[in-house]
C-alpha cells in the first residue's frame, strides 16, 4: 500500500474498499509507472 501512496499520492482511505486482488493490480501499475519515471533498478549497470 505504501507503493500506491507514493506513486499515486493516495491516502490509506483511498484504498480501504479495495480487496487484495485490486490492490495487487494497482501495485503492478505503480511499479510500471515508477520504473518508467526512474528506470529499472535491476538494469542500472
Are residues 8 and 30 in contact, defined by beta-carbon separation less than 8 angstroms? yes
> Quick one: pLDDT at residue 45?
38
Q: In which domain, by residue range, is 11 found? A: 2-38
pTM here? 0.78
Q: Is residue 13 part of a domain?
A: yes
Q: Is residue 44 part of a domain?
A: no
Q: Euclidean distance between the first and final Cα of the chain, in Å?
A: 29
> Quick one: pLDDT at residue 41?
67
State the total domains in the chain: 1
> Quick one: pLDDT at residue 9?
95
pLDDT digits (tens, 9 = 90+) for 1-45: 899 999 999 999 999 999 999 999 999 999 999 999 888 766 553
Distance between CA atoms of residues 17 and 1, nearest Å: 13
Amino acid at each position: 500500500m505504501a507503493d500506491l501512496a507514493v506513486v499515486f499520492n493516495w491516502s490509506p482511505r483511498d484504498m480501504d474498499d479495495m480487496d487484495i486482488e485490486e490492490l495487487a493490480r494497482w501495485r503492478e501499475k505503480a511499479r510500471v509507472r515508477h520504473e518508467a519515471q526512474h528506470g529499472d533498478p535491476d538494469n542500472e549497470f
